[in-house]
Amino acid sequence: MQTHGNIRSRADLDWVAAHCEHVLTLFSGGLDSSYVLHALAGKRCKVTALTVDLGDGVNIPDLQQITAHFGANLRVIDGCQRFAEEAVLPAVRAQARYMGMYPISSSLSRPVIAQYAVQLALELGCDAIVHTANQSQNSLRRLNGALAQLGYTGHYGTPYEYTAISREEKIEALRAEGLTRFQARGISGDANLWCREFESGSLDNPEAFWVPETLFEWTRPRTDLPDIEIMLHFAAGRPVAVDDFALPLTDLISAVNERAGAFGIGRYSGLEHLPSGEKVLEVREAPAATLLMDAYRHLEMATLDAETLREKQAMEQLWVREALEGRWFGGLRAAADAFIHATTRTVSGTVGYRLRAGAADVCAIRASSPRYLVDRDGWEKRAARLGASRGLADLMHADLEKVR
């Protein structure tokens, strides 16, 4: 164990428990984070368990029961507003999809969680921050990367990086401590107001996987719904209203999740790379992300010139790559974000969709400062007259040159 930055095994965690005064753990109430509390229980260090609510809701009584069982203090922070403003809104503008396939999620949430963790650790004087990502989870490099970039000088990391403890072993250890709520290995999930994603269990093998319908909450299609229209309004690159109702960003996202999700819109399956090059399968649902990013692109197409759009697409991929690789607070993502933000000034208007089972059909694009034609025949006639007058002027100029 060195001075900081290298909690990577169960032995490292034991060293931290023996040498640190106050340890902050990231706590979801799940098996992995509960096992960490078990590992720290009864040691000399004080333990605070931090839960950051990013919009999926938290069961505070359950969290209190587990933390009290192991003598840890629970802190629950509502991070929805920061997440929406500082992560989701830039992601909409950056068209943040992994390889252009599906909306990114943990790449957005982990830096926000890390921010709250560092702030609370400094407030409480914690000399270690422990999270629970493992080798097959990309959250490992995203959390470690964010904690390093934020300048946290205490110990940080996860005991599961170099120590592989089976789910069954963790369940048995907690059962021996009197906690019997955890079950054998199944599908793991991560959720926030922007996206719900799933991995492991029946999703382990991309060559043959099945997704239980019960996993989905937003996108369970309702067969009793008639087709409807929804209008999404933007002002200077910001979603501001649904239909004629102005909403705060968090409420707007929730409203679109509900409206579009009811038609089964916004399901994705795809592979994502690990740092060592292997790929893992993830399944997710993100109806609001689907519509908001699509609508934003339509308004960009309506208001920005083609060359700016081409360059912005390159910046988008750079932005997404830096977020994916755990460099959220790095200078390169900040530079890409500044370019993207500079293009938002004219992105104002409304995009309408007709929602039907499994699909959202664009039915209206209305920009405040449009570049599109609304009367093509009229434009053709004006362009022809202008071209003809310019041609006549050129002929007259040529004749004058001959006379000279």
Structure tokens at 228: 């409807």
CB of 50 within 8 A of CB of 26?
yes
Q: What sign does the CA torsion over 166, 167, 170, 171 have?
A: negative
**Mean pLDDT of the chain, nearest integer:** 92
Round to whole Å and give the CA distance between 334 and 123. Answer: 27
pLDDT at position 223: 82
H runs (alpha helix) in 193-305: 249-261, 287-303
Any residues with CB less than 8 A from the CB of 244 and at least 6 apart, and which?
A: 231
Mean pLDDT of 59-65: 94
Q: What sign does the CA torsion over 173, 141, 63, 47 have?
A: positive
For residue 142, which of 85, 87, 194 has the smallest C-alpha distance?
A: 87
Residue 273 pLDDT greater than 90, yes or no: yes
Mean pLDDT of 252-269: 97
Residue 394 pLDDT greater than 90, yes or no: no
- Helix and strand numbers (H, E) in the chain are 13, 16
Structure tokens at 279: 């790929």
β-strands 97-98, 102-103: how paired? antiparallel
More confident position, 345 or 5? 345
pLDDT at position 103: 97
Residue 54 pLDDT greater than 80, yes or no: yes
SS3 state of residue 6: coil
Kindly report, residue by residue over 158-203, the tens digit of the pLDDT. 999 999 998 889 999 999 989 988 876 567 888 999 999 998 888 9
For residue 133, which of 116, 113, 104, 153 has the smallest C-alpha distance?
A: 113
pLDDT at position 186: 67
Round to whole Å and give the CA distance between 101 and 9. Answer: 34
Buried b (16+ CB within 10 A) or exposed e, 322-337: bbbbbbbbeeebeebb
β-strands 359-367, 238-242: how paired? unpaired
Round to whole Å and give the CA distance between 351 and 240. Answer: 12
pLDDT at position 367: 98
CB of 49 within 8 A of CB of 2?
no
pLDDT at position 2: 43
pLDDT at position 147: 97
Cα within 13 Å of Cα(158), Cβ side = 27
The DSSP code for 7 is B
* β-bridge mates for residue 350, sequence order: 233, 366
Kindly report, residue by residue over 10-39, the tens digit of the pLDDT. 999 999 999 999 999 999 999 999 999 999
Mean pLDDT of 231-247: 97
pLDDT at position 135: 85
The percentage of the chain sitting over the pLDDT mark of 70, rounded to a whole number, equals 94
pLDDT at position 1: 39
pTM of the entire structure?
Answer: 0.92
pLDDT category of residue 3 using cuts at 50, 70 and 90: very low
Show the beta-strand stretches assigned E in 321-383.
Answer: 349-356, 359-367
